[in-house]
Structure 1
Amino acid sequence: MNSEFDYIIVGAGSAGCVLANRLSENENNRVLLLETGGSDKSIFIQMPTALSIPMNTDKYAWQFHTDPEPYLDNRVMHCPRGKVLGGSSSINGMVYVRGHAKDFDEWEEHGAQNWSYQDCLPYFKKAEQWYLGGDTYRGDDGPLGVNNGNEMKNPLYRAFIDAGKEAGYAFTNDYNGAQQEGFGPMHMTVKGGKRCSTARAYLDPVKHRKNLTVVTKAKAQKVVLENKVAKGVQYRVGGNVYTATATTEVILSAGPIGSPHLLQLSGIGDKSHLEGAGIECQHELPGVGQNLQDHLEFYFQFKCKQPITLNGKLGLFSKALIGARWLLFKDGLGATNHFESCGFIRSKEGVEWPDLQYHFLPAAIRYDGKSAFAGHGFQVHIGHNKPKSRGHVLAKNSDPDTAPQIQFNYLQHQEDIEGFRACVRLTREIINQSAFDDFRDEEIQPGSHIQTDEQIDAFVRQAVESAYHPSCSCKMGEDDMAVVDSQTRVHGIQGLRVVDSSIFPTVPNGNLNAPTIMVAEKAADHILGKEPLSKASAEVVGDSQWATRQRSASF
């Protein structure tokens, strides 16, 4: 196992599986893919409706926790990350959101050259197999299957969209197309009724390649450096430690927690921090582990007048029927993540593009799959998605088995607090539109008594949860705190790259699996020295009067 390869990829997750596929297309490239976890073939991973199980299972996820968050009443927050083939794409909610076009233009403004929306769109399309066929914005022959689940059969999904329209917001038929802003159907990475993780989409079809070696249960210890050149990776399988040599490059795709931690364990990071952790500094790069960002959200829950919600499907008999149908036919309620309608709006006038995101769910239920109350209900997940607050990931010592310190500093910034006040007030207005009159009953959470700024702030501090979108901890750019350049190469180290959501300069308005896959597709061309795909010239639709109004039914 002390072998030589051209490329070593650490982490078989949303980015790593993409890279393993693309880099091994050339049979002359010897590629090693290292993954700490194991097989993704569990029914709980493959069946979309079981999404709450793998992220809460030690076997499939790193069960990271933050230090007490000082602006959330010192709450300790859960931060699970994938530890299985497919990484977090095997444990996530399967929601497919690319982000707003302006999010990627923002990346370029932060120094990520040639990462504008028009640069990135061709790679989104390359990755995707959209169930309605390709067009200017959507791909039709990529590995990643994307659809709308059960086509919003439950009437509550359309009630949510109609309520958004009644409240004065636009309708968008495709928020991943020209117009993100508005209310419409939501998309998911499900294909043939099964979770379409990157393990399934990118890795399974190429496992047979003789030039691709996949080693599971392999915990990376550090990058082997010689005179600021990455020579390989030291990793452990069971009780044995091995060293694999890379003749061309080492690529870290261990995620927004794992990649900065591994860089620090390898002696790359802020010198004073490394020395304090007992790690010899090999290369000073102060931005490693800094700029950490995440999305927060809470559930706005209501009781439902009609017995049409998923709360009526939580009994053992109902679950057995759903599971049996899925096993036999790969359809029905087992074949969806249940987030089938959504909304993207702006929190206030003067915000140029959407900073609030809605996931609608025809159930009142927690992420751990437990019912919120006895009876029928529905909820909408709402969060402020362009946070100003920043945190860090820091190695505590030189032991790879010691989890790093994680601190997001959630709601440190006043604008984030105000964003969540808007979440409460705007959502309450939307749900109280006439479209919900036949369904809406008592407000469960926050509760109608929560009205003032002070009451909302106190509720939010106690109710918000991570949306599981950590990112930006090895940001791309050219400033003093950037970790990688626009080619994803680690500044100052030869033969070493980082390719995953940690290199985002800023967090996009949306879930992160889609942009992470896009980043890996684009980075693969950089790594292989290919000409980038031709820049797009797609129209982007937004409100031209954003500076003076918060909503518009049409643009």
Structure 2
Amino acid sequence: MQTYDFIIVGSGSAGSVLADKLSASGRFSVLVLEAGGTDSRFYVQMPLGYGKTFFDPAVNWNYKAEPDPGLAGNADHWPRGKLLGGSSSINAMVWIRGARDDFDAWAAAGNPGWGYDDLLPAFKALEDNQAGADAWRGVGGPLHVTDCSDAVHPLTKRYLAAGQQAGLPLNLDFNGAAQEGVGVYQISTRNGRRMSAARAFLRPAMKRANVRVEMNALATRVLFDGKRAVGVEYLQNGETRTARAGREVILSGGSVNSPQLLQLSGVGPSALLGGLGIPVVHANENVGAHLQDHVGINYTFKGRLPTLNQTLRPWWGKLLVGMQYILTRSGPLSLSMNNAGGFFRTDPAATRPNMQLYFQAFSTVIPKSGERPILTPDPWPGFSIGLSNCRPSSRGEIMIRSSNPRDYPRISANAYSTEADVAEMLDAVKFVRRIASMPAMAEIIEEEVLPGPSITSDADLIQDFRKRSGTVYHPVSTCRMGPDPSHSVVDPRLKVHSIEGLRVIDASIFPDNITGNTNAASIMTGWKGAELVLEDQE
């Protein structure tokens, strides 16, 4: 059995940052256990290639949630990255930090050091923003953030104009002074390639002699001496192996895998563990509970002007954009499908936006199987305006089904399970139609394809978004942070309550979800978490 100072389970958005920062001084040895394989794949590195990874078992856990009454009984597809970089290697790359009020609420809930002003230095330090440095933006950090303003599809200008005609301000930086409004999204790429956490943080760390990364290594349980974590057992190449941690074990498997591994290791709801024959190391009913996720829907339109459909669907179009990408690392394949978007309030009295917008200059209404058809859109000029809720009140859970670590856990999202979530989504979809009715958009729309002009009553609109909504891949809070062990899993220093030598550092610790995409905040959590770990070393 080999011994390392730190064992990090998971090489994703937070785990990659931890590996880099904990090993940088050369003082500590670090082992990273990654259940998946390499990120050295063309469709991982090409930004728009994530449509090819959406169902690919070589890089994707391909989880499926339980049939959800709130989603008309649908069992939602839950992609999660299973490779170096984790979900940052297969996501849509939209770089949104979250709202000031989100993090200030974390601190106000009893988590000192997690307010916006506390975290802004970390956000700035980790990024190298193409837009340049200012009071909110950083340059010179490991992760490059690209300004796409000059590269987006021409239809994006009409969307931005329509948003302003509908009453939203133009916002040039959603991570700047204010978040509300419509604007072009910045994305985590550099020179036309995906800037995952693996590329920004883990790959540089892997060059150090004090870092070891084991791929295809499925962590099966944390090893304890009493109530102190002392190592990790894992499966690799058909063999059960163990590694010892001299200082700490850190779980960075994300909102699905971190609670799963805690439960498999005997930390979790006592009745669940007892019923599965798992010895209880420490009973905590919050492990796997409090699941929050953003749920979204697209409204799709047939246009009178060309969209990306006419570029990406024909073979010759694919050839042209492929050559453009290979030769210049530019063009549609170098971008996210979400060219633009924004944030708005369904209640004018609210202090911060509760809804996020997405503009996509293509459409994928005609169903295909086996992949997300980003690279094979509809044969007619289509585009979509999407939205998702930012802070839903619905709560779900992620619980293991058995003591077998290869069995996927049971994911119960409970989407739209509160009247408040249904009411705000009803208001939100009506606002999407308002944007589409503004002159800048209305004059180029031939028809609304989904849900279609026959869907007009509140009851029909609700039934439609229950049937067509789904996760936008931002699950959090299953190992939530808080000072009170009766309501949380980790304390404000991310140490698991009542356990020594064990932390959780990833999006599962978010006390509540944030306003926007979660990847930037997950990476920040890795950065902040590494600082806490280093502060606690003697």
Q: Is the 8 A contact 1:112 1:505 kept in 2?
A: no
Q: Is the 8 A contact 1:113 1:486 kept in 2?
A: yes
Residues 1:346 and 1:196: Cα distance change in structure 2 (over 3 Å): same
Counterpart residue number, 1:238 = 237
Distance 1:447 1:433 in 2: 17
How many residues align? The count is 530
Deviations 1:293-323 (A, max 9, x none): 1111111111110124334422232212222
Is 1:421 aligned with 2:421? Answer: no
Counterpart residue number, 1:269 = 268
Q: Secondary structure of 1:365's partner?
A: coil
Distance 1:311 1:530 in 2: 56
Is 1:351 aligned with 2:357? Answer: no
Q: Secondary structure of 2:493's partner?
A: coil
Q: 1:421 deviation in Å?
A: 0.4
Distance 1:22 1:252 in 2: 16
Counterpart residue number, 1:57 = 56
| Matching residue within 470, 477, 498 for 1:492 | 498
Distance 1:322 1:487 in 2: 47
Q: How does 1:37-48 map to 2 (within 5 A)?
A: 37-48=36-47
Q: How does 1:220-299 map to 2 (within 5 A)?
A: 220-299=219-298
Q: How does 1:524-543 map to 2 (within 5 A)?
A: 524-529=530-535
Q: 1:110 deviation in Å?
A: 2.6
Counterpart residue number, 1:461 = 466
Distance 1:355 1:429 in 2: 17
Q: 1:122 deviation in Å?
A: 0.9
Q: Is the 8 A contact 2:310 2:317 kept in 1?
A: no
Counterpart residue number, 1:534 = none
| Matching residue within 422, 440, 449 for 1:435 | 440
| Matching residue within 451, 465, 468 for 2:456 | 451
Is 1:36 aligned with 2:42? Answer: no
Q: 1:53 deviation in Å?
A: 1.2
Distance 1:530 1:132 in 2: 35
Q: Is the 8 A contact 2:94 2:186 kept in 1?
A: yes
Q: What is the letter of the counterpart of residue 307 of structure 1? A: P
Q: Is the 8 A contact 1:279 1:397 kept in 2?
A: no
Q: Secondary structure of 2:80's partner?
A: strand
Distance 2:331 2:306 in 1: 18
Q: 1:430 deviation in Å?
A: 0.9
Distance 1:348 1:13 in 2: 36
Distance 1:354 1:61 in 2: 32
Q: What is the letter of the counterpart of residue 503 of structure 2? A: R
Q: Is the 8 A contact 2:78 2:473 kept in 1?
A: yes
Q: Is the 8 A contact 2:250 2:505 kept in 1?
A: yes
Distance 2:320 2:254 in 1: 37
Distance 1:297 1:419 in 2: 12
Q: Is the 8 A contact 1:450 1:456 kept in 2?
A: yes
Q: 1:478 deviation in Å?
A: 1.8
Distance 1:150 1:490 in 2: 43
Q: Is the 8 A contact 1:149 1:190 kept in 2?
A: no
**Structure 2 gap ranges (5+):** 366-371
| Matching residue within 494, 513, 521 for 1:515 | 521
Counterpart residue number, 1:392 = 397
Distance 2:188 2:293 in 1: 21
Q: Is the 8 A contact 2:309 2:378 kept in 1?
A: no
Distance 2:385 2:276 in 1: 42
Deviations 1:377-417 (A, max 9, x none): 11012112110000001111111001111101000011110
Deviations 1:6-33 (A, max 9, x none): 0000000001000000000121200000
Q: Secondary structure of 1:74's partner?
A: coil
Q: Secondary structure of 2:79's partner?
A: strand
Q: 1:373 deviation in Å?
A: 4.1
Counterpart residue number, 2:318 = 319
Deviates more, 1:335-344 or 1:80-89: 335-344
Q: Is the 8 A contact 1:5 1:31 kept in 2?
A: yes
RMSD: 1.4
Distance 2:60 2:94 in 1: 18
Distance 1:41 1:370 in 2: 20
Distance 1:299 1:357 in 2: 12
Percent identity (aligned): 37
Distance 1:180 1:202 in 2: 27
Counterpart residue number, 2:203 = 204
Deviations 1:250-288 (A, max 9, x none): 000001000000000000011111111221111011100
Q: 1:74 deviation in Å?
A: 1.6
Q: What is the letter of the counterpart of residue 486 of structure 1? A: P
Q: 1:102 deviation in Å?
A: 0.7
Counterpart residue number, 1:548 = none
Counterpart residue number, 1:542 = none
Q: Secondary structure of 1:176's partner?
A: coil
Q: What is the letter of the counterpart of residue 403 of structure 1? A: Y
Q: Secondary structure of 1:157's partner?
A: helix
Q: How does 1:374-393 map to 2 (within 5 A)?
A: 374-393=379-398
Counterpart residue number, 2:111 = 112
Deviates more, 1:274-283 or 1:319-328: 319-328
TM-score, normalised via structure 2 length: 0.96
Q: Secondary structure of 1:164's partner?
A: helix
Q: 1:149 deviation in Å?
A: 3.2
Q: 1:289 deviation in Å?
A: 0.2
